[in-house]
Structure 1
Amino acid sequence: MKLAFTKMHGIGNDFVMVDCRHRPFPLNEAQIRDIADRHTGVGFDQLISIEPPRDASCAFYYGIWNADGSPSGQCGNGVRCVAAWLHRAGELAIGDTVRLESPSGPVTVRLSGPLEVTVDMGVPVFEPSRIPLRADAEADRYAIEVGGETLEIGSVSMGNPHAVVLVPDVQAPSLYRLGPLLTTHERLPEGANTGFVQKIGRGQLRLRVHERGSGWTLACGTGACAAMAVLHRWGEVDDRVQVTLPGGTLTIDWAGPGHTLWMTGPAAFAFEGEWLGSAH
């Protein structure tokens, strides 16, 4: 089959964008994995479809799939790329605020420039059953056994589940072993994006994220939101934080419980292409 696509990224978190505004989504799980292969396919962290909305209050729906073919509920860097893609397609003007529908529900985006987007990521969810996290009761911190060590984590849903660990150094070699183990831990029944966060100051964090279904990525927008939300809850950061990931920096604003969290960052186009791959 032939499939036209756009390759984009948000601070290095890369996506294959598929235009499904006027046709059904054409791919199965095996084909998604084939496109994700960085040697024999195109390569991506997530594949995103742009479709008509299911919710009449929204302008468009976007679907998200990880590199292993599994669906995802939300992608912060991805939604910024959706907004920039819609602008280039003539669907969204600079200065516009529009409501988009994600697999986890509506989000509001504001296009401040052709490649600069602010996203209302919703209210962080700390209730264990809604993350989901296996825990007796909601707490600020949870002790969890991982790879023979006891880690203290915060956990939150930003439309997808996250485990956040405060560490002295995000470059510590041990994190490469612990990340995959925590992502698939039995206490996180749907898996989780694992964020290792280093506090530089009350307004500055460094972060590395091991994403469920995609592994280590250069950036994770919901991971940056989760890290800020957890550390804000712990009293470690102020209401505005710069979160620096290997691929670049995002600005996260959150005034605390009951308020929505806002993420601002860039989106970039890489190239257009046509996939000629497998028919299975």
Structure 2
Amino acid sequence: MSVAFRKMHGLGNDFIVIDARPLSGNGPVAMSAARAAALAERRTGIGCDQLIVLEPSTEADVRMRIFNADGSEVEACGNATRAVGMLLGGAQRIETLGGMLASTATAGGASVDMGPARFGWDEIPLAYAMDTLHMPVGWEELENPAAVNVGNPHVVFFVPDADAVDLARLGPVIETDPLFPEKVNVGVASVTGPSHLRLSVWERGVGLTRACGTGACAAAVLALRRRLVTGPVRVELPGGPLEIAWEPGGTILMTGPAAFSFAGTFDEDDYPL
């Protein structure tokens, strides 16, 4: 069967978006880790950081399933939520494994209520109890991180120069450390102004990425908790900026661009389950 898809991106973080709702023209589309990874492969597939499948929801306007480039199904993807919000238009309630999200389309993008931040060691999760705002752990020069769950787990290191850190080498070591039983997204952030951060992210199941929406949320929230910045926070990623607003006890509002790249089709038989 031929399956239609759209290729989209948020600040260079790119997605294959498959609408598998009854009136989409596709109907149900089966997805597995093997099929998702094959479609995400940039040499022999379509190529993407994340593959998104939109399905009917009994609780929201749409259910969004998120598969990383390695085929793993994950809880949240902020950039993809903005892309889906822009694609669907208007105000949407979006069901994800990480919780219920609310998006509002804007000119050239979307604002997304990413829900609350969770700071408990067992909510992130970590393998054992510790202070998650000042974690007494380190990997070589990266020390004293903070951790948060913003729909998915993040650990963030605040350093003088985020661009000087060899995250391509240290990222996979930290991602797979036994301290993080569900693995972890790794951010390295620098304070560049009273309300500004510069951020690089090693994304769980993907690798170095030009942009990570949940990573920007995590870095901004943790910088606000440490009183390193005041909000709203402008987070500069390699692909461009996002604005993050958060107050203690409230939810996280992420605003930024999304873009349509092209549309196409693939044959399911070429990508077996």
TM-score (norm 1): 0.91
Which amino acid in structure 2 is aligned with residue 21 of structure 1? R
CA shift in 2, pair 1:207/1:129, >3 Å: same
**How many Å separate the matches in 2 of 1:60 and 1:73?**
15
Alignment partner, residue 53 of structure 2: 49
CA shift digits 1:147-198 (9 cap, x unpaired): x556211000010000000111122153322111111111011011101101
* Residue 68 of structure 2 corresponds to residue 66 of structure 1: yes
Identity value in percent: 42
Alignment partner, residue 160 of structure 1: 152
CA shift digits 1:185-224 (9 cap, x unpaired): 1101101110110110121111110011111110000000
Q: Which of the numbers 35, 40, 56 marks the counterpart of 2:39? A: 35
C-alpha displacement of 1:6: 0.3
**How many Å separate the matches in 1 of 2:41 and 2:132?**
39
C-alpha displacement of 1:3: 2.2
**How many Å separate the matches in 2 of 1:242 and 1:6?**
29
C-alpha displacement of 1:82: 0.6
**How many Å separate the matches in 2 of 1:29 and 1:62?**
16
Alignment partner, residue 259 of structure 2: 268
Is the 1:35–1:275 contact (alpha carbons within 8 Å) kept by the matching residues of 2? no
Structure 1 runs of 4+ aligned residues shifted over 4 Å read: none
Alignment partner, residue 144 of structure 1: 137
Q: Which of the numbers 153, 172, 176 marks the counterpart of 2:164? A: 172
Alignment partner, residue 90 of structure 1: none
CA shift digits 1:65-115 (9 cap, x unpaired): 00010011001000011111213xxxxx3xxx33211111111111222x2
* Residue 100 of structure 2 corresponds to residue 100 of structure 1: no
Q: Which of the numbers 81, 105, 117 marks the counterpart of 1:111? A: 105
Q: Which of the numbers 222, 237, 244 marks the counterpart of 2:229? A: 237
- The answer for unaligned runs of 5 or more in structure 1 is 88-92
Is the 2:34–2:272 contact (alpha carbons within 8 Å) kept by the matching residues of 1? no
**How many Å separate the matches in 2 of 1:150 and 1:174?**
10
Which amino acid in structure 2 is aligned with residue 79 of structure 1? T
Is the 2:167–2:202 contact (alpha carbons within 8 Å) kept by the matching residues of 1? no
CA shift in 2, pair 1:4/1:135, >3 Å: same
CA shift in 2, pair 1:51/1:129, >3 Å: same
Is the 2:86–2:106 contact (alpha carbons within 8 Å) kept by the matching residues of 1? no
**How many Å separate the matches in 2 of 1:193 and 1:150?**
14
- The answer for unaligned runs of 5 or more in structure 2 is none
Alignment partner, residue 279 of structure 1: 272
Which amino acid in structure 2 is aligned with residue 47 of structure 1? L
Alignment partner, residue 83 of structure 1: 85
CA shift digits 1:219-259 (9 cap, x unpaired): 0000000000111110101121110101111000112x211
Superposition CA RMSD, Å: 1.5
Alignment partner, residue 5 of structure 1: 5
C-alpha displacement of 1:61: 0.8
C-alpha displacement of 1:33: 0.9
C-alpha displacement of 1:119: 0.6
**How many Å separate the matches in 2 of 1:247 and 1:139?**
28
Alignment partner, residue 119 of structure 2: 126
Is the 2:150–2:217 contact (alpha carbons within 8 Å) kept by the matching residues of 1? yes
Secondary structure at the aligned position of 1:85 is classed as helix
Alignment partner, residue 190 of structure 2: 198
Alignment partner, residue 243 of structure 2: 251
Alignment partner, residue 21 of structure 1: 21
Is the 2:244–2:255 contact (alpha carbons within 8 Å) kept by the matching residues of 1? yes
**How many Å separate the matches in 1 of 2:132 and 2:182?**
19
**Which sits farther off after the overlay, 240-249 or 136-145?**
136-145
Matched residues, number = 267
CA shift digits 1:14-69 (9 cap, x unpaired): 000001111333222111111111111111110011111142xx111110000010
**How many Å separate the matches in 2 of 1:154 and 1:197?**
11
